[in-house]
């Protein structure tokens, strides 16, 4: 939904299983319309679309795209952001570290992301008189899964593919007048997982003289325009669950991105699990969150510093007799309206801190609630149907933004 001043709020449709376009389209009719009707029977409702590579290819057919555009007009909906993170199957089967594949070392990730940008440019609403044009964002993997990376040659290959994508976005903007930006999404145990790593990567590889020269060669732009294009078309998707799991400070991470000139093209409003004390009751309850589908990275903080685990079983296996002297944050998206998930808590307080900052000065033009783990969330924490939960999450964000 349009919150004014160029800011839009939605939820990510990756909560609804669907890999083909027919399945995605059915979810829009079954779920997204229902959520819209609960929240705002009047006005235009924004969609955060998740498209697999298969669905993107099917939607690219002219007749299919025309039908979807007609659906959007009839239903008073618009698409302003696409989740281009999971390329393949995302529900009902083992995903784990394969969710990052193909990563940004692979030309297929570039092809897929180019296609998503083309689709988004075709779906973005036209500018209305007196209102700013709606920009588009595509969120994507944070480079690659960190354990899969080799040496500097892997980083150089990722940079080259990212810069080629910027070249594609520059040409797309010239051809359509629509601005689409790519938003790299830092995540625990990935090439980009902390804000410090993001700032360093952009400074060294995406905002420097070499990146500007390569962009000039790819686009024909002069140095000033190429530098501007890099800032306009490349930025981050700040996932609040991921940042909280990394023990980031809300104000500090936003300030550091701003000072580095890195745009937050998209902010995913999400919460993870927080275990301030690792007592037997908490650890027993935590085992219910160990599912065979998704990675649930764990970041541990204790007096000796930070320790990271790629998945929940590895963290549980690391425990010794002094488990109570540390705090754990777990990458498992839980409904953002839950502060307590007895016997432990969520990282909701981090979400509230960031939304308080956003009230004073917009952190990002695109706000997207993302609780994709609904299918594997233990039943006691669901609190109703998926449509009811999504509507409640969006209403909670609206209330926080009005506070």
In the chain, where the domains are located: 2-270+345-402
Does residue 303 surpass a pLDDT of 90?
Answer: no
Closest CA to 37 of 46, 25, 45: 45
**Percentage, residues of the chain above pLDDT 90:** 88
- Check residue 391 and give its pLDDT: 95
Map tokens 């999971």 to a residue: 86
**Is-contact 104 155, C-beta < 8 A?**
no
- pLDDT tens-digit series, residues 92-137: 899 999 999 999 999 999 999 999 999 999 999 987 766 778 999 9
Rounded distance between C-alpha atoms, residue 40 and residue 394, angstroms: 11
Mean pLDDT of 208-235: 98
Band (pLDDT 50/70/90 cuts) for residue 377 is very high
* CA proximity to 125, closest of 74, 178, 175: 178
Residue 231's CB is within 10 A of a number of other CB atoms, namely 15
DSSP state of 126: P
* pLDDT of res. 367: 98
Between 5-9, 40-44, 237-241, 356-360, the lowest mean confidence (pLDDT) is in 40-44
Mean pLDDT over residues 302-306, rounded? 89
| Stretch 18-30: mean pLDDT | 96
Residue positions counted in the chain: 403
Q: What pLDDT is recorded for position 132?
A: 79
Smallest Cα–Cα separation from 315: which of 290, 334, 342? 290
Rounded mean pLDDT, 273-279: 93
Mean pLDDT of 62-73: 97
Residue 381 has what pLDDT? 86
Q: For residue range 379-388, list pLDDT tens digits in order.
A: 888 878 999 9
CA atoms of 348 and 369, how far apart (whole Å): 13
Average pLDDT, the chain: 95
What's the mean pLDDT in 71-96? 95
Does the structure show a pLDDT above 90 at 5?
no
CA distances from 200 to 39, 85, 168, 379 (A): 41, 22, 24, 41
Helix (H, G, I), strand (E, B) or coil at 238: strand
CA–CA gap between residue 232 and residue 227 (Å, rounded): 9
- The residue ranking higher by pLDDT, 5 or 317, is 317
**Structural element, H or E, at residue 313:** helix 312-317
- Which pTM value belongs to this model? 0.96
Q: Is 162 helix (H, G, I), strand (E, B) or coil?
A: helix
The pLDDT of residue 129? 65
- pLDDT band for position 43 (50/70/90)? confident
- The string of pLDDT tens digits covering residues 194-206 is 999 999 999 999 9
Sheet holding 45-50, edge to edge: 2-4, 7-11, 366-369, 264-269, 234-239, 180-184, 136-140, 77-83, 45-50
Confidence of residue 322 (pLDDT cuts 50, 70, 90): low
Residue 101 is predicted with a pLDDT of 97
* Beta bridge partner(s), residue 239: 268
CATH topology of domain 2-270+345-402: TIM Barrel (3.20.20)
* pLDDT greater than 80 at residue 185: yes
User: Tokens 């609804």, residue?
Assistant: 16
**Listed range (166-175, 252-261, 286-295) with the worst mean pLDDT:** 286-295
Whether the per-residue pLDDT at 310 is higher than 90: the answer is yes
pLDDT at 152: 96
Pick 262 or 325 by higher pLDDT.
262
* pLDDT reading at 279 higher than 80: yes
Alpha-carbon dihedral angle through residues 352, 354, 356, 361, given to the nearest 10 degrees: -160
| Bridge partners for 142 per DSSP | none
């Amino acid at each position: 939904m349009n919150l004014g001043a160029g800011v839009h709020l939605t939820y990510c449709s990756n909560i609804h299983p669907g890999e083909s376009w027919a399945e995605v389209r059915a979810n829009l009719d079954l779920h997204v319309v229902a959520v819209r009707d609960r929240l705002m029977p009047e006005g235009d409702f924004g969609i955060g679309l998740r498209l697999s590579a298969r669905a993107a290819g099917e939607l690219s057919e002219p007749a299919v795209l025309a039908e979807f555009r007609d659906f959007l007009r009839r239903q008073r909906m618009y698409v302003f952001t696409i989740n281009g993170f999971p390329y393949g199957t995302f529900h009902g089967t083992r995903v784990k570290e394969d969710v990052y594949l193909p990563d940004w070392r692979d030309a297929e990730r570039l092809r897929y992301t180019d296609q998503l940008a083309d689709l988004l440019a075709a779906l973005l609403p036209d500018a209305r008189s007196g209102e700013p044009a709606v920009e588009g964002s595509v969120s994507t993997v944070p480079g690659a899964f960190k354990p899969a990376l080799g040496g500097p040659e892997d980083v150089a290959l990722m940079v080259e593919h990212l810069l080629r994508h910027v070249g594609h976005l520059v040409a797309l903007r010239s051809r359509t007048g629509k601005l689409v930006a790519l938003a790299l999404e830092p995540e625990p145990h990935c090439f980009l997982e902390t804000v410090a790593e993001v700032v360093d990567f952009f400074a060294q590889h995406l905002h420097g003289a070499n990146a500007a020269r390569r962009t000039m060669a790819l686009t024909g732009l002069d140095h000033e325009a190429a530098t501007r294009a890099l800032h306009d078309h490349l930025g981050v998707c700040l996932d609040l669950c991921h940042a909280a799991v990394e023990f980031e400070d809300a104000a500090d991470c936003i300030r550091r991105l701003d000072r580095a000139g890195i745009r937050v093209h998209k902010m995913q409003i999400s919460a993870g699990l927080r275990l301030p004390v690792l007592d037997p009751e908490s650890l027993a309850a935590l085992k219910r969150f160990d599912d065979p589908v998704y990675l649930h990275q764990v970041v541990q903080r204790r007096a000796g510093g930070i320790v990271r685990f790629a998945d929940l079983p590895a963290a549980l296996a690391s425990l010794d007799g002094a488990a109570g002297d540390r705090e754990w944050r777990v990458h498992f998206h839980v409904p953002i309206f839950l502060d307590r998930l007895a016997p432990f808590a969520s990282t909701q307080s981090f979400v509230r801190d960031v939304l308080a900052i956003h009230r004073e000065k917009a952190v990002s033009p695109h706000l997207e609630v993302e609780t994709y783990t609904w299918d594997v969330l233990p039943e006691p924490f669901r609190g109703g149907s998926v449509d009811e939960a999504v509507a409640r999450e969006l209403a909670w964000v609206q209330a926080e933004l009005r506070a």
